Amino acid sequence: MRTARQLCPEALLIRGDFEKYSQKSHEITEIIREAVPLFEKSSIDEFYIDYTGMDRFFGCLKMARELRERILKESGLPISLGLSENKTVSKVATGEAKPNNYREIPRGDEKPFLAPLSVRKIPMIGEKTSNTLFNMGVKTVKTLQVMPSELLEATFGKNGLSIWEKANGIDRSPVVPYSEAKSISSENTFEQDTIDVKMLEAHLIAMTEQLAGKLRQNQQLTACVSVKIRYSDFDTHTVQQRVPYTSADHTLIQVVKDLFKKLYSRRMLIRLIGVRFSNLVHGNYQINLFEDTAEQIRLYQALDRINGKFGDKTVCRAVGMQVGRRRFNPFNGVVV
């Protein structure tokens, strides 16, 4: 982005809305979950569905088109679809169907379909690999298809054989059933190892605050808190504590601080710290009648509304202001 602004200072910069993206992704996930027997969610906007055996009853293309039309109607989002006998060809077919269409590649037509395409269309062939292939005179998938697999293996190692197979429409990878993350976590590796305890606590509080906000946003509660530290000599230690199900900042921050004090015993420079919430369940925060006040509950609700609308850390504890905003990956539960 820094380079883009230098090259084009008059560019109009539009801030992405990751919360909205996640919300829409969850919405489409639930539609797919209701409609198909087995699916894999590989990214925020990409799914693989296994329709094995469905052709004898309903017709795979018919089912896929009906699902696409339902998603279009209920989400309002354009969606492209590729149908074939494996994940690689389906992914390429989806790309060819964009921006808002579908494409079926019948069994046996995989090689002819792929042949005229650029090698960059093959998943796992990035810029570096494609440049090497271009230097070898390989620009289309058809050339890859007729090359000896041994030559590609000699050039790219074990990935060479995988490239050859994908180019020939061969992909044995299964559709991996989707399941929601059982934990969420956040880690920070410092540019310079540090012994500044106040700074370390500030990072821990900021990470805990953001993770707790994600729990409330996803209507989840945690029952286990873990803190991790890695010393400058790469010696790594983790400690955890079970807690009553909660998503409250003030409860979780105190647990995290106590665990850090218990864990940090060597007084050596620290390279990395991390916080992890596990044993997640769906549920809303339960008010503690003896500790929580109405003002405190309203504060959490206001914080979540503001941060949900304008982005994480729009409003946060003062101690965490020195820590930059961290982005959340909803598919592996990691904040980076």
Q: Which residues carry out catalysis?
A: 46
- In sequence order, what are the residues at sequence separation of 6 or more whose Cβ sits closer than 8 angstroms to the Cβ of residue 3? none
DSSP string, 165-185: HHHTT---PPPPPP---S-EE
Q: How far apart are CA 127 and CA 133, in angstroms?
A: 10
Report whether 19 contacts 311 (CB < 8 A): yes
Q: How far apart are CA 146 and CA 202, in angstroms?
A: 58
CA distances from 142 to 117, 145, 154 (A): 8, 5, 19
Q: How far apart are CA 42 and CA 90, in angstroms?
A: 13
User: Each residue of 173-184: b (16+ CB within 10 Å) or e?
Assistant: eebeebeebebb
